[in-house]
Amino acid sequence: MLVVHSKQELAEHIAEWRQNDEHVALVATMGSLHPGHLKLVELAREHAERVVVSIFVNPTQFGADEDFEKYPRSLELDKRRLKTTAADLIFAPDVATVYPFGTEQATTVSVPGLTENFCGAARPGHFDGVTTVVARLFGLVQPDAAVFGQKDYQQQLVIRRMVEDLSMPVAIITCETIREDDGLALSSRNSYLSEEQRAKAPLLYEALSSVGDELQNGQRNFSELEKVANKKLLAAGFVVEYFSIRRAQNLEIPDRDCDDLVVLAAAQLGEARLIDNVVVTV
Ligand code: PAF
């Protein structure tokens, strides 16, 4: 497996693959890889002969008081984890490679509307950072396809919208959320949980699944379902940022006969901000 840090080296390998008529899929990550990321790589390989994994902790998607500095970084371990997967190349650029004019002077990509609520409201500027870096990675890697996890449900919708709106020639593929045996969605930020918090953390998915089941059974009092789940999580010690039932396609408020729903939640448990969702197709 190749490991490259510069644009030039990356471009050389991509050009060589293109000459052989090989397709390229990108798995964009911030490193600290876990089995959820490895699943993205596996799925990427089903869509292209070559898989690039980018590892870049993107400063522009973190707010001033967020965890950019302490975000877990483990390039050597990540290389070892990827060795036995279908990844062909790790692209691990530095900030100057991704933002040659600096982060302050960077051309930015912003998706209005879809980014205003939920994680966008809680983390102002976050999605501008995400779309900006993903657009840059698409420019550098020129992938035919890119795979993102369903755990970051709003993120994958925002990226899909960007790609559609800017006619980017990249197929966006969403990969199911990979979970621990007790239901907790895998996330690099789970490492912030204490032992006690870790034991409580699966309650988030439990609450989402139970609302998902109610919806599946025809319950349509959305605000009551949200209220009950909120209460349950608060009682367990979560600081709930949002717990909401929305249209799966665009996160708008659904009406009673909407048959494609998503239940989304974000909650703080100690130092860890957990997000998760379940999609309900009736
Ligand atoms: O989901 C992530 O890990 C990041 O938001 C992404 C897509 C790699 C952009 O930095």
Mutate to test the pocket of ligand 1, among 56, 61, 108, 187 (most ligand atoms within 8 A of CB): 61
Q: Which residues are catalytic?
A: 37
In the reported structure, the alpha carbon of residue 123 is separated from the centroid of ligand 1 by a whole-number distance in angstroms of: 14
In the reported structure, the alpha carbon of residue 55 is separated from the centroid of ligand 1 by a whole-number distance in angstroms of: 9
Mutate to test the pocket of ligand 1, among 26, 27, 29, 119 (most ligand atoms within 8 A of CB): 29
pLDDT in the model for residue 241:
98
246 in the same domain as 146: no
What does the mean pLDDT of the chain come to? 98
| Domain encompassing residue 171 | 2-175
Tens of pLDDT along 16-69?
Answer: 999 999 999 999 999 999 999 999 999 999 999 999 999 999 999 999 999 999
149 in the same domain as 33: yes
CA dihedral of 3, 126, 190, 134, whole degrees rounded to 10: -30
Instruction: Give CB contacts under 8 A, 24+ apart, made by 65-74.
Output: 66/123, 67/189, 67/192, 71/30, 71/32, 71/188, 72/31, 72/32, 72/188, 72/191, 73/31, 73/32, 74/31, 74/32, 74/33
Ligand 1 atom with least separation from CA of 29: 8
In the reported structure, the alpha carbon of residue 58 is separated from the centroid of ligand 1 by a whole-number distance in angstroms of: 8
Residues in CB range of 209: below 8 A, 6 or more apart: 183, 278
Last residue of some domain: 120, 150, 175?
175
Q: Whose CA is nearest to atom 2 of ligand 1?
A: 29
CA distance 169 to 182: 38
Ligand 1 atom with least separation from CA of 188: 3
In the reported structure, the alpha carbon of residue 142 is separated from the centroid of ligand 1 by a whole-number distance in angstroms of: 17
Average pLDDT over residues 2-16: 98
Q: Whose CA is nearest to atom 7 of ligand 1?
A: 28
What is the DSSP secondary-structure string of 44-103?
Answer: HHHH-SEEEEEE---GGGS-TTSSTTTS---HHHHHHHHHTSS--EEE---HHHH-TT-S
7 in the same domain as 107: yes
CATH number at residue 166: 3.40.50.620
In the reported structure, the alpha carbon of residue 153 is separated from the centroid of ligand 1 by a whole-number distance in angstroms of: 12
Using a pLDDT cut of 90, give the percent of the chain over it.
100
Tens of pLDDT along 149-174?
Answer: 999 999 999 999 999 999 999 999 99
pLDDT in the model for residue 125:
98
157 in the same domain as 107: yes
Ligand 1 atom with least separation from CA of 61: 10
CA distance 266 to 212: 16
- Is the CB of residue 246 less than 8 Å from the CB of residue 266? no
Indicate the pLDDT class of residue 245, thresholds 50, 70 and 90. Answer: very high
Domain count, the chain: 2
Ligand 1 neighbours, Cβ below 6 Å, are 28-30, 58, 61, 130, 133-134, 152, 155
Ligand 1 atom with least separation from CA of 159: 7
Tens of pLDDT along 56-102?
Answer: 999 999 999 999 999 999 999 999 999 999 999 999 999 999 999 99
Average pLDDT over residues 104-110: 98
Ligand 1 atom with least separation from CA of 54: 8
Q: Whose CA is nearest to atom 1 of ligand 1?
A: 29
CA proximity to 28, closest of 138, 161, 165, 144: 138
116 in the same domain as 228: no
In Å, what is the CA distance from 129 to each residue of 9, 132, 134, 241? 25, 5, 8, 21
Tens of pLDDT along 200-238?
Answer: 999 999 999 999 999 999 999 999 999 999 999 999 999
Please check whether residue 244 lies inside any domain of the structure.
Answer: yes
- Is the CB of residue 212 less than 8 Å from the CB of residue 263? yes
pLDDT in the model for residue 179:
98
Last residue of some domain: 133, 149, 175?
175
Last residue of some domain: 123, 141, 175?
175
CATH number at residue 254: 3.30.1300.10
Please check whether residue 183 lies inside any domain of the structure.
Answer: no
In the reported structure, the alpha carbon of residue 168 is separated from the centroid of ligand 1 by a whole-number distance in angstroms of: 18
Tens of pLDDT along 114-134?
Answer: 999 999 999 999 999 999 999
232 in the same domain as 98: no
Please check whether residue 180 lies inside any domain of the structure.
Answer: no
Q: Which residue has the tokens 């197929």?
A: 171
What is the DSSP secondary-structure string of 131-162?
Answer: HHHHHHHHHHH--SEEEEETTSHHHHHHHHHH
Q: Whose CA is nearest to atom 5 of ligand 1?
A: 130
pTM score of the predicted model? 0.97
